Chains A and B, each alone.
Chain A
């Protein structure tokens, strides 16, 4: 009789513990998904900022139409590639195309900044300064969003791979999550840099 009660108690404890581990892992996995969405939000923020920046620059850079044109074109390509990548997140070639488009955008923004360097009126423009701050902040946000994603993955992997939670994670099929590698070349990792 006592043995039955002991077995029953062990089973109840195991079920409670399993539920707790399961819920914790689900919560962590959802946080990873949310962190990934954040990156997308910040990339979009950058795409939205660039036309405003080009608009202001146009007023001063009357002889640099080609440079501005290149930025606008690169942005459009990046927006298109991002939409494709969002629709097929596991497709390696879509992600690759996005990485290339982002690289192109970064390069053309860099050229615009170099050109802007020789236009003091543009640098003194209050709107331009404000947009510059927004752009700098957006670069930080993209970096931090990637970092937050990796931090969440680390916490999830730690939670799922440590004994004894590991047993429950295996039973429920929680595999390890992958960290974001930098998809960008060293050239593009350098944010558009300009001192006003």
Chain B
């Protein structure tokens, strides 16, 4: 029952990271005040006449910074929500509704989604296919369980066995079940708020004169907060990937399902130069994909953990890559 332990670990880590995120926001707010106070103090040293701290210095600094962060959060989250539901986002990436009555592979895909939803005890999301993508990949999106989409590339339909496709769908259903899209949207909103602090400092600097000093102070603090926010957002995203991997193993009770997908993805990455090039993924869905971008740096700002690490977590040890071959004739068993 290792997958239950892995789930608990990922959930605990998420909570810890969210607390750190709140701390980072608070630190940015205080940091802006302290930096401004420092500038003012430096000003009193060079000033020919005595300077008092302005009235309500602390309140105004904290208030304005909070206004920027919360305002940015509000703007970004409502922007993301206004961009439309899950289906519109998927259509913009080139996904279309699956046609279970026409193609055997899509009948199988729809059946698999039904099966996983029974195992997960959740309502069935809309099933979509991205016919122009020949590489194995998939994504899930949706603000809640009732308005959710699971989209799978043509490559995944062609190159994966039934069990592997099941593991992949289970991973995506976990993102929907656990509300990961919503969580990520909230974090993206806060990160945008932190970016606004930086932008405010930048705008202040353009005034010239003494404002350059104060603007630079705000910019410095804003950029530290912004980077910390982005790094924490990415860490949360990586933990949610681990959680979804463990969920997939729980629901399918099979390591080789999702494990096979990830091992084939290893091969896919090695042979990337020989594969037909797919349409590029827009930035709005990159963090949603099952497999991150092909170039993997394992850095602080990656939304996905390295493939080899995910495989090691699923199997408990390293596993070799699997060859990419079409699973020949249709089998039913």
Contact = CB atoms under 8 A, between A and B. Distances in A.
Given A130-B104, A148-B120, A148-B121, A137 B114 contact: yes
Contacts of B108: 133, 137
Interface residues of B, number: 22
Contacts of B49: none
B118 A145 contact: yes
Interface stretch (B126-134, B181-189, B193-201, B324-332): B324-332
B121 A196 contact: no
A134 B111 CA distance: 7
Nearest to A136: B332
B214 interface: no
Contacts of A137: 108, 111-112, 114-115
B251 to A, nearest CB: 7
B318 interface: no
User: Which of A135, A148, A152 gathers most chain B CB within 10 Å?
Assistant: A148
Given A141-B118, A147-B119, A195 B251 contact: no
A147 B331 CA distance: 24
Contacts of A193: 333
Nearest to B101: A130
Nearest to B105: A133
A184 interface: no
Contacts of B114: 137, 141
Query: Which A-B residue pairs are the 4 nearest by beta carbons?
Result: A137-B111, A144-B119, A132-B332, A136-B332
A129 interface: yes
Interface in A137-196: 137, 140-141, 144-145, 147-148, 151-152, 191-196
A135 B162 CA distance: 14
A144 B119 CA distance: 5
A42 interface: yes
Q: Counting chain A CB atoms within 10 Å of each CB, which of B108, B121, B250, B251 scores highest?
A: B121
Interface of B: 104, 107-108, 111-112, 114-116, 118-121, 162, 166, 250-251, 253, 329-333
A129 B118 contact: no
Contacts of B331: 195-196
A45 to B, nearest CB: 10
Contact of A133 (B120, B250, B332): B332
Interface of A: 31, 34-35, 38, 42, 129-130, 132-137, 140-141, 144-145, 147-148, 151-152, 191-196
A73 to B, nearest CB: 24
B107 A130 contact: yes
B121 A136 contact: no
A134 B110 CA distance: 10
Contacts of A192: 333
Nearest to A137: B111
Contacts of B107: 130, 133
Contacts of A42: 118
Contacts of B330: 129, 132-133, 196
A147 B253 contact: yes
B333 A136 contact: yes
Nearest to B112: A137
A150 to B, nearest CB: 11
Contacts of B121: 31, 34-35, 148, 151-152
A196 B314 CA distance: 31
Nearest to A132: B332
Contacts of B329: 195-196
Contacts of A38: 118
Given A195-B331, A195-B333, 17 more contacts: A129-B104, A129-B330, A132-B330, A132-B332, A133-B104, A133-B107, A133-B330, A134-B111, A144-B116, A148-B121, A151-B250, A152-B121, A192-B333, A194-B333, A195-B329, A196-B329, A196-B330
